[in-house]
Structure 1
Amino acid sequence: MMNSSEELSLPQKLSKDIISYILEENLQPGDKLPNETIISEKLNAGRSSVREAMKLLASRNIVKIRQGSGTYVASKPGMVEDPLGLTFIGDKKKLVHDLLQVRALLEPSIAAMAATNADDNDIRRIRKLCEEIEVLVKENKDHTQKDIEFHTAIALSSKNVVVPRLIPVINSSIPLFVETTGNTLLKETIETHREITEAIAAHDAMRAQDAMYLHIVYNRKTIAINEEKEND
């Protein structure tokens, strides 16, 4: 019986070796990898196999291949924009409900972690984004991108290495929520964002958890009300 390493194709095995090289050399997002010839020599492999391995890594968003420039560590290695394939779910109404359920499970706890672990720089960033969203909401301008940045900043403040990798799940839902609620949650958005921000700034984990849960509940209620109107 073959073991797992024997079952891997040569490009797959080389892709694992290249990841090991990136980690050993402590290459950071945006850093350039050595050229194909040097990598081939280091891994004792043919250039065509290394080229295939790099394509595999590019498909997994671990490296970025720039024609005429070289190969670089991706800005968010291993993270793709839509890791769960939510784009391909046709029933957007059900998707919104199910995303809300998942966010209700995740985000209150993430906010609590952020309240416990956020440093002064994190708090400044969260507060700045909260204020920027408030201005956009009051001016009746699209605040979707800033909303995404706000929730991303909270996730990063958790200091949990797995949580940032959940960000695409949260981010993909925000434009859907804004669209489904008809952007009617203006007052509630301002109030709950403020409460989340102040709870994190006060390092009050329970208050941050409750504020985030309330934020999601407002979304859920508004979506339900809008659906009732549509069905009348």
Structure 2
Amino acid sequence: MLESLQNEKKLLPERAAEQIIKLIMENELREGDQLPNEFEMAKQFHVGRGTIREAVKILVSRHILEIRRGCGTYVCTNPGKMEDPLGFTFISDKKKLAQDLYELRMMIEPNMAALAAERASEDEIVSLQKVAYEIKDLIEKKEDYLEKDIEFHTLISQLSKNSVVSNIIPVLQSGISVFIHITNKSLMKETIETHQLLVNAIASHDSKGAKKAMEKHLEFNKKKMDEIADLYEKEVDGK
């Protein structure tokens, strides 16, 4: 099943890392599952234990494996998906980043919502409504709703049943976080209203309605960002 790596002298740890990925996939290992120990994998791949250690380090850096000291090596949660894959943390101009992310989200999320309306099951719609109610409750209590807002958009992406969309969720999550902080959580009423419009359209399997609802949701964010940018420029000019 797994080919020998004995004759692969160049980039041997990288090739061993590829074989470990094959091992994970062929054995259908899931997040939290433990890999064979270092000695067993070295024997199976016909390489030294040092090569296996280096291969594991490569996969740890790619968020595929995690090492639990004294326990072993395990498959990561959401293997291969980094929290900040495009380095948004290091972009200093957050307002410009928010504007660029708005454009990205407008390209992706309305169509994602349309697919969710076509493909969501009744049980999934119930779950989406539950999260929308939880966000409404947090907003009315003036509590932080960022985590639940991310959960809401993540769930819609999952309801689209498109695996590629699910893989770009870290990017969308970054966008949601930036939007909420830039607008200073001032879109509470609009968030409640447009979330419910989205849930209603998806529940009715109305793909056009879901697309329009998501566009409206994002446009509220863009309008508020523009207002904040204008106020900032006036303050700067007045100094």
1:219 Cα deviation from its structure 2 partner: 0.3
| Displacement of 1:31 | 0.7
Compared with structure 1, are the counterparts of its residues 7 and 199 closer, same or farther at alpha carbon in structure 2 (3 Å cutoff)? farther
Q: Which of 166, 176, 179 is the aligned partner of 1:177?
A: 179
Residue number in structure 1 paired with 2:3:
none
Amino acid paired to 1:68: G
Distance 1:190 1:116 in 2: 23
In structure 2, what is the equivalent of residue 120 of structure 1?
A: 122
| 2:38 is equivalent to residue 20 of structure 1 | no
Q: Structure 1: which amino acid aligns with 2:162?
A: N
Deviations 1:120-158 (A, max 9, x none): 232121111100001111121111111001001111111
Q: Distance in 2 between matches of 1:7 and 1:211?
A: 56
Look up the match of 2:62.
60
Give the alignment's Cα RMSD to 1 decimal.
1.4
**What do the CA deviations read for 1:41-100 (whole angstroms, capped 9, x no partner)?**
111111110110001001001111111110111110100100111111111111010010
Q: How far apart are the structure 2 equivalents of 1:121 and 1:40?
A: 45
The alpha carbon displacement at 1:7 in A equals 9.2
Partner amino acid, structure 2, of 1:67 = R
Deviations 1:159-200 (Å, cap 9, x if unpaired)? 111111111111112221112112111111011000011111
Q: How many residues align?
A: 228
Identity %: 44
Displacement, 1:11? Answer: 0.3
Aligned to 1:28, the other structure's residue is in SS state coil
Does 2:138 align with 1:130? Answer: no
Gaps of 5+ in 1: none
Counterpart check, 1:143 vs 2:145: yes
What are the equivalent positions in structure 2 for 1:204-215 lying under 5 Å apart? 204-215=206-217
1:200 is matched with which residue?
Answer: 202
* Counterpart check, 1:47 vs 2:49: yes
Aligned match of 1:109:
111
TM-score (norm 1): 0.95
Equivalents in 2 of 1:133, 1:68: separation in Å? 40
**Counterparts of 1:189 and 1:108, CA distance in 2:** 16
Deviation at 1:230, TM superposition (A): 2.2
Partner of 1:77: 79
Q: Secondary structure at the match of 1:64?
A: strand
Where does the alignment leave 5 or more consecutive residues of structure 2 unmatched? 1-6, 235-239
1:189 correspondence with 2:152: no
Task: Give the corresponding residue for 2:4.
Answer: none
Moved more, 178-187 or 60-69: 178-187
